[in-house]
Structure 1
Amino acid sequence: MGLGDQTPDGTANVFDADDVLFGKLRPYLAKAVRPGFGGICSTEFLVLRAVEFTPEFLRYVLLSDEFVSAVDSSTYGAKMPRANWEFIGNVRVLVPPRNEQVSITAYLDRETARVDELISKQELLIERLGEYRVALITRTVTRGLPPDAAEAAGLDPAPPLKDSGVEWLGKVPEHWDVVENRRLFDERDERSDDGDGELLTVSHLTGVTRRSEKPDVGMFMAETLEGYKRCLRGDLVINTMWAWMGAAGTASEAGLVSPSYNVYVPDSQFVLPEFLDMAYRSRRYVVGMTSESRGIWSSRLRLYPQHFLSLVTVVPPMNEQQAIVAYVADIEDRVKRMASAVRDAIERLGEYRMALVSAAVTGKIDVRRSAVDSRGGV
């Protein structure tokens, strides 16, 4: 039997409290919702008015794997695949009696809530792992290794601290140098005559990466790279407009960067590029770069060379930099593996959720028995 009626299309779709909305753009994402109130929505949503179904049961039908797969196979458009009502309106689905629809809906409400709670906990774990990584890097580039790691590396686990003289930096180990950037960096302002080279971009999420790997948000592709700035491996590159968000990092390869970026050559005998990459993407250094940025409102702040060079960088002895870089790389590898395992678990939970919905709306699960079991029956 078909799904019901669709409200007319226009520049916007109007829906009532008992209507169900289904996202026709990329239907494989399984976007279906019953708002529970009336309003107006984008025409990218189909507004379905249940005829043979309760609205709650219709929503679950639209979320079932069988329905989503059928609709997804009918889409048109390669980059922005869409489904249309002509196909969806003719999809045939099972329609149980209304009392069974109510029972199935109650069962799925309960069971999917449990799955959603598990997914939320896993997503929170990923968030906590990210926060741990950020806190760890900020700690190591301003205070050194944690005591146990420092001791294992043959370093003082509790070095005395001194006031750095910089508010955003705070106290640092007494034996570390606090160096004004104009003594540590030279600005590189070399331009490409032919535009030949790998285009690199800088964002707060990925640091310095190839344009083809991680496009920078909002960055357009110029017709030619002539006049773009050259950078070499180990150079510190700062996205002038987004320094206040931590869009900085050292280049792992030579390439070209936007003329609006600034490129700095560090003293390689004094500081490791890998240490600088961590430092200038850490929370405290972001605060420092923000404090020296100029402009009105956050989206218009700019960190110009004269202001960057007036900042300071705290520099540990070379052997300690090496120990910090190795330690953080090991921890980051562990965090990435843990986060990957958690994402896999979330994906499996999502698959289980869809399978559960599909099994219930097609009668493969006896929800009457499940209802008894949930109350402690036998």
Structure 2
Amino acid sequence: MKLKPYPKYMPSGLEWLGDLPAHWKIVPLKHVLVDMESGTSVNAIDVPASSGEFGVLKTSCVYGGEFIAAENKAVVPEEFDRVSCPLRRGTLIVSRMNTPELVGAAGLVRRAEAGLFLPDRLWQVSFHDAEPAFAHYWTQTAAYRVQVEMACSGTSSSMQNLSQGQFRSFAFPRPSVAEQVAIAAYLDRETAKIDTLIAKQEKLIELLQEKRQAVISHAVMKGLDPMVPMKPSGVAWLGDVPEHWEVGPIKRFFSFLDGKRVPLSAEERGVRAGDYPYYGASGIIDSVDDYIFDEDLVLVSEDGANLLARSTPIAFVARGKYWVNNHAHVLKPVDEHLTYWSERIEAENLVPFVSGSAQPKLTIQALANILIAVPPSANERQEIEAYILSESAKIGTLIAKAQQAIALQKEHRTALISAAVTGKIDVRGMVDQESYEEKAA
């Protein structure tokens, strides 16, 4: 059904908002606010609170525009008496301090879990004469973001602040509460449909990526000839391999370039830190042992904490220039056609090869002696590489189409929310009248 505009409009007086339905009002946000609360920063560990524990929300709980209760940290028992501002249902959680893209990000609390509290960098906003879900959708519009950007101008380029006074002064389009509820109900229904379509495409991409990895794994472990004689590799995870292939340690087929890393001074790191992607244990350049490579390499995390927590990739193939610190091993194939054996290392579960308990490490000796199977002929290696490239291209085309579909659905979602919340379309007849008026009462 094609959605129609309202029968009559009036100028809002704001260039970035345009015309509004004639019966709507535009008011400062403070006119529909009951309270804006913030919590306390307390010591916590970076794991979610369990049942019976207190948790303090992370600012990431609203990064995606939706409130995610699981984004919290367990408060240490010694700090239980310092927590404040418990989470309440029907409120809007707003990030008051963040990067330019994320300051002002907001999420609606549809269900308040007991034991969760706010830190000082988040607000909990409650309303009167406004439907919280409508206000939440409003925070996802360009009309809201432009006000955030104007309010935060002049602050740090990397970390910006939004004051309560600025937030309260934002221009808020206000139809009746019953109409706000109707708009929110319509958007709940329609965005759920869009989100389902997006989820299906995301699942398709996941399956295609798994298929690509399966193509690579089979090709570099079994070869391309299904009739070739096989032999036991003697390695559990390899199983049977082509009879003529060589089974040997990684160090036979890859060079270890750890010793070629050249330390950079603190001054050099500060100047060049943003030039290239970074790979290391912490995710930031904060060590004197930072280096740069400009070759196609396999980067393997040496840091046991990352291996066991999976907070960063264990291994990945780096093409181009990367910063690398001393928490990563650097491998380079001795034969250019062994690139996809590199990806097999990337997919392998390396945790069993970690040693140590207090500070677990993947030593260079352990990594170098992991067994792999490789065809001795350069021609066969090249044939396998060509096959993988061909199959990957086909899969890549399907992934690109799915990604394009997701982008279009997200654009449609954003446009629909903006059109409904700013009165460019009339959705009042699209939901059950009695139902939403009862909810608004």
Q: TM-score, normalised by structure 2?
A: 0.65
Q: Which residue of the partner structure matches residue 33 of structure 1?
A: 108
1:114-263 maps to which residues of 2 (within 5 A)?
Answer: 114-145=193-224, 156-181=225-250, 184=253, 190=259, 212-218=276-282, 221=285, 238-241=300-303, 247-248=314-315, 258-262=325-329
1:60 is matched with which residue: 125, 137, 152?
Answer: 137
CA separation of 1:45/1:231 partners in 2, compared to 1, >3 Å: closer, same or farther? closer
Determine if contact 1:7/1:49 at 8 Å carries over to the other structure. Answer: yes
CA separation of 1:168/1:62 partners in 2, compared to 1, >3 Å: closer, same or farther? same
Cα distance in 2 for partners of 1:263, 1:353 equals 43
Deviation sequence 1:65-104 (CA, Å, 0-9, x none): 3123322332233112333221221112222122222222
Q: Which residue of the partner structure matches residue 351 of structure 1?
A: 411
Determine if contact 2:276/2:322 at 8 Å carries over to the other structure. Answer: no
Q: Residue 218 of structure 2 aligns to a residue in which SS? A: helix
Q: Which residue of the partner structure matches residue 69 of structure 1?
A: 146
> Cα distance, 1:255 vs. partner?
9.2
> Cα distance, 1:53 vs. partner?
0.8
1:7 is matched with which residue: 10, 31, 36?
Answer: 36
Amino acid of the structure 1 residue aligned with 2:302: T
Deviation sequence 1:246-292 (CA, Å, 0-9, x none): 74467767999545544567654xx844143223223xxx24x4443
Gaps of 5+ in 2: 1-26, 41-83, 269-273, 433-441
> Cα distance, 1:45 vs. partner?
2.5
Cα distance in 2 for partners of 1:255, 1:213 equals 5
1:279 aligns with 2:344: yes
Deviation sequence 1:11-38 (CA, Å, 0-9, x none): 2544532322223335755432134437
1:323 aligns with 2:380: no
Q: Residue 18 of structure 1 aligns to a residue in which SS? A: coil
1:17 aligns with 2:83: no
Q: Which residue of the partner structure matches residue 51 of structure 1?
A: 128
Cα distance in 2 for partners of 1:239, 1:172 equals 28
Cα distance in 2 for partners of 1:47, 1:254 equals 43
Determine if contact 2:280/2:328 at 8 Å carries over to the other structure. Answer: no
Determine if contact 1:107/1:371 at 8 Å carries over to the other structure. Answer: yes
Q: Which residue of the partner structure matches residue 192 of structure 2?
A: 113
Q: Residue 323 of structure 1 aligns to a residue in which SS? A: helix
1:304 is matched with which residue: 363, 385, 393?
Answer: 363
Across the aligned residues of Structure 1 and Structure 2, the Cα RMSD in angstroms comes to 3.7
Cα distance in 2 for partners of 1:180, 1:7 equals 61
2:179 is matched with which residue: 84, 100, 113?
Answer: 100
Cα distance in 1 for partners of 2:404, 2:181 equals 33
Determine if contact 2:238/2:372 at 8 Å carries over to the other structure. Answer: no
Amino acid of the structure 2 residue aligned with 1:62: T
CA separation of 1:83/1:336 partners in 2, compared to 1, >3 Å: closer, same or farther? farther
Q: Residue 151 of structure 2 aligns to a residue in which SS? A: coil
Cα distance in 1 for partners of 2:233, 2:157 equals 56
Q: Residue 21 of structure 1 aligns to a residue in which SS? A: strand
> Cα distance, 1:112 vs. partner?
1.3
Deviation sequence 1:111-142 (CA, Å, 0-9, x none): 11111111211221222222222222211110
Shifted more, 182-191 versus 128-137: the winner is 182-191
> Cα distance, 1:308 vs. partner?
3.5
Shifted more, 248-257 versus 59-68: the winner is 248-257
Q: Residue 160 of structure 2 aligns to a residue in which SS? A: coil
Determine if contact 2:280/2:301 at 8 Å carries over to the other structure. Answer: no
Determine if contact 2:280/2:327 at 8 Å carries over to the other structure. Answer: no
1:314 is matched with which residue: 363, 369, 373?
Answer: 373
Determine if contact 1:32/1:63 at 8 Å carries over to the other structure. Answer: no
CA separation of 1:350/1:45 partners in 2, compared to 1, >3 Å: closer, same or farther? farther
Q: Residue 362 of structure 2 aligns to a residue in which SS? A: coil
Q: Which residue of the partner structure matches residue 161 of structure 2?
A: 82
Cα distance in 1 for partners of 2:175, 2:302 equals 61
> Cα distance, 1:8 vs. partner?
3.8
Determine if contact 1:34/1:56 at 8 Å carries over to the other structure. Answer: no
Q: Which residue of the partner structure matches residue 48 of structure 2?
A: none
Amino acid of the structure 2 residue aligned with 1:97: S
Q: Residue 238 of structure 2 aligns to a residue in which SS? A: coil
Cα distance in 2 for partners of 1:320, 1:53 equals 68
Cα distance in 2 for partners of 1:253, 1:16 equals 48
> Cα distance, 1:334 vs. partner?
4.0
Determine if contact 1:233/1:253 at 8 Å carries over to the other structure. Answer: yes
Amino acid of the structure 2 residue aligned with 1:95: R
> Cα distance, 1:324 vs. partner?
1.5
Determine if contact 1:234/1:273 at 8 Å carries over to the other structure. Answer: no
Q: Residue 171 of structure 2 aligns to a residue in which SS? A: coil
Cα distance in 2 for partners of 1:254, 1:83 equals 37
Q: TM-score, normalised by structure 1?
A: 0.74
Determine if contact 1:248/1:277 at 8 Å carries over to the other structure. Answer: no
Gaps of 5+ in 1: 146-155, 200-209, 373-378
Cα distance in 2 for partners of 1:88, 1:354 equals 22
> Cα distance, 1:195 vs. partner?
5.4
Cα distance in 1 for partners of 2:192, 2:342 equals 42
> Cα distance, 1:337 vs. partner?
4.2
